[in-house]
């Protein structure tokens, strides 16, 4: 076992000896132990100790290159030593009061008791330092080999202590590709409503890790299957629209999961959270806009507009950063725009507007639009792909010709004020927009022509 931990031995053993000299226990625990055994160790170490937070702070103060106390109210002291980030937590147990969103932290005295309160057996393994004694009282090593998530005690007790663990099960299904024990799934289904006691920030962190995992479909499917999604992401199960024999449309829920997978397949450099969330939420406006039409058709007019509003509301309630909320909502709003391109009838002006409206999201919009094609008709899929290829080629050509991303009117604000003899104010903004429309629609027309058009517009508008 020691051979597996050779990378972390120097810093871990050194700190273990420091704690031992002060009469305290120290052990590597949880995720880092699991990840080392899976061959995917990083530079973050979780450690646990019988020392109280104030004692931990006193011990690491002189040893670490830096330390911080952000989590000290929950028994955690952070430290940095070289390239290693360490979190040292006092043995503890925690549980939720039924009326509180914050866990109540109680300190413990033994490593075994600390491991018993952890979320899953694969995270309840430890290595004592500096002796390297492997501690696995709940069969985590066996579960690791079986790739299964099982709680150390009963699932009801574990999820009752911290309901967020139910979301963590779905997150690990996505990140690690593990299946969840049947008893845990049953408890998740029975206790799903309990998740509402957890703060939006903690829920957001788990959902974001889930969506950025290797297999988000697995985690999302588990959320829907257990009913947890009804409480944390209700737009997702609502996509399972009833399909009857008279009114035909795609299975929107299944379509959404495929779009997410196809978007992921286009990522070039690791998970793109904005693209993934946009793919997941791109059709959330369909349930509200569904309408049965003559001939057995089903329409979803303006679902992209409604969907953008719903996406913005959901991500805001989950406390995502404003820029993420805005970018995802904008992609949802724009995801159907390409379908107006038809057989390439758009003018250069329309192509410029497409690029301008997408702005910094253009590359993501390309990927989302391509991912949104899930038809089984190979001929139709090939035609859509060719058409989008043509659009991208036109965008590239226009960008080369005009540096499209830097397009500005031929007359700036100061020139507009000088020509019209007006002071700064809303009128200058209206005139600037008029000149921008000319620039977008007609390209470069020359300063003299631009001046004449501005004067004519001013006269026509009083």
Per-residue model confidence (pLDDT) at position 177? 93
d(CA 232, CA 252): 19
Q: Which residues pair with 228 in a beta bridge?
A: none
> Within 91-181, where are the H helices?
111-116, 140-146, 155-161, 164-176
Per-residue model confidence (pLDDT) at position 251? 83
Per-residue model confidence (pLDDT) at position 317? 97
Q: What is the largest CA-CA distance in the chain?
A: 87
Closest CA to 264 of 252, 278, 275, 251: 275
d(CA 238, CA 286): 9
DSSP track, 255-303: HHHHHHHHHHTT-SSS--HHHHHHHHHTTTTHHHH-EE-GGGBEE-TTH
DSSP track, 378-437: HHHHHHHHHHHHHHHHHHHHHHHHH-GGG---SS-HHHHHHHHT--SSHHHHHHHHHHHH
Per-residue model confidence (pLDDT) at position 404? 60
> Within 137-228, where are the H helices?
140-146, 155-161, 164-176, 182-191, 200-211, 216-226
Per-residue model confidence (pLDDT) at position 247? 44
Per-residue DSSP letter, 28: E
Task: Identify how many contiguous H helices and E strands the chain contains and give both numbers.
Answer: 22, 13
Residue 126 near residue 133, CB atoms below 8 Å: no
Closest CA to 168 of 140, 223, 225, 206: 206
For residue 388, how many C-alpha atoms fall within 13 Å in the half-sphere facing its CB? 21
Residue 335 near residue 282, CB atoms below 8 Å: yes
Question: CA 11 → CA 48, 91, 92, 396, distances in Å?
Answer: 15, 21, 24, 51
Question: CA 127 → CA 20, 91, 117, 450, distances in Å?
Answer: 14, 14, 17, 74
d(CA 454, CA 50): 76
Structural domains of the chain sorted by starting position, each given as residue range(s) with its CATH number in brackets: 1-144 (3.30.460.10), 237-406 (no CATH), 413-460 (no CATH)
pLDDT in tens, the chain (462 residues): 555 666 677 889 999 999 999 999 999 999 999 998 988 877 889 999 999 999 999 999 989 999 999 888 889 999 999 989 999 999 987 666 666 666 677 888 899 999 999 999 999 999 999 999 999 999 999 999 999 999 999 999 999 989 999 999 999 999 999 999 999 999 999 999 999 999 999 999 999 999 999 999 999 999 999 999 999 999 999 998 755 444 455 689 999 999 999 999 999 889 999 999 999 999 999 988 888 777 777 778 889 999 999 999 999 999 999 999 999 999 999 999 988 877 778 888 889 889 989 999 999 999 999 999 887 788 888 888 888 898 999 988 888 776 665 678 888 889 999 999 989 888 898 999 899 888 888 888 899 999 999 999 999 987
Q: Are strands 84-90 and 44-49 parallel, antiparallel or unpaired?
A: parallel
Per-residue model confidence (pLDDT) at position 403? 66
Instruction: Give the Cβ contact number of residue 5 at 10 Å.
Output: 20
Q: What is the pTM of this model?
A: 0.81
Per-residue model confidence (pLDDT) at position 244? 46
- Does residue 462 sit in helix, strand or coil? coil
d(CA 411, CA 439): 10
d(CA 329, CA 281): 9
Burial class (CB in 10 A: 0-12, 13-18, 19+), 405: exposed
Instruction: Give the Cβ contact number of residue 409 at 10 Å.
Output: 20
């Amino acid at each position: 076992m020691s051979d597996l931990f050779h990378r972390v031995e120097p810093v871990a053993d050194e700190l273990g000896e420091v704690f031992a000299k002060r009469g305290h226990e120290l052990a590597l625990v949880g995720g880092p132990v699991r990840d080392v055994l899976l061959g995917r160790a990083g530079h973050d170490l979780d450690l646990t100790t019988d020392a109280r937070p104030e004692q931990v702070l006193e011990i690491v103060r002189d040893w670490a290159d830096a330390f911080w106390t952000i989590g000290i109210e929950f028994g955690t002291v952070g430290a940095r030593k070289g390239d290693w980030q360490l979190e040292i937590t006092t043995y503890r147990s925690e549980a939720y009061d039924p009326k509180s969103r914050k866990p109540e932290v109680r300190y413990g005295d033994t490593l075994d008791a600390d491991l018993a309160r952890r979320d899953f057996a694969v995270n309840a393994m430890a290595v004592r330092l500096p002796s390297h004694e492997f501690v696995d009282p709940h069969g985590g090593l066996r579960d690791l080999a079986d790739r299964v998530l099982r709680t150390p005690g009963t699932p009801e007790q574990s999820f009752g202590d911290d309901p967020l663990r139910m979301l963590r099960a779905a997150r690990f299904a996505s990140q690690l590709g593990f299946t969840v024990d049947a008893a845990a799934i049953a408890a998740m289904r029975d206790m799903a409503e309990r998740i509402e006691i957890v703060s939006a920030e903690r829920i957001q962190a788990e959902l974001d890790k889930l969506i950025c995992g290797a297999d988000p479909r697995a985690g999302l499917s588990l959320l829907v299957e257990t009913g947890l999604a009804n409480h944390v992401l209700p737009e997702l199960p609502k996509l399972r629209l009833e399909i009857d024999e008279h009114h035909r449309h795609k299975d929107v829920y299944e379509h959404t999961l495929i779009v997410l997978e196809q978007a992921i397949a286009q990522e070039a450099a690791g998970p793109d959270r904005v693209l993934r969330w946009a793919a997941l939420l791109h059709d959330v406006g369909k349930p509200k806009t569904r309408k049965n039409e003559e001939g057995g058709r089903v329409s979803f007019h303006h679902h992209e507009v409604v969907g953008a509003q719903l996406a913005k509301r959901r991500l805001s309630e989950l406390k995502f950063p404003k820029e993420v909320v805005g970018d995802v909502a904008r992609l949802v709003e724009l995801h159907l725009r390409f379908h107006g391109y038809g057989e390439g009838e758009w003018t250069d002006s329309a192509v410029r507007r497409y690029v301008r409206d997408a702005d910094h999201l253009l590359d993501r919009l390309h990927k989302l639009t391509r991912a949104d094609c899930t038809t089984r008709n190979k001929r139709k899929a090939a035609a859509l792909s060719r058409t989008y290829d043509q659009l991208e080629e036109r965008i590239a050509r226009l960008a080369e010709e005009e540096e499209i991303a830097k397009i500005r009117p031929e007359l700036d604000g100061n020139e507009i004020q000088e020509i019209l003899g007006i002071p700064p104010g809303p009128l200058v903004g209206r005139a600037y927009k008029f000149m921008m429309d000319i620039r977008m629609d007609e390209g470069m027309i020359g300063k003299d022509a631009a001046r004449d058009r501005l004067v004519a517009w001013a006269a026509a508008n009083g």
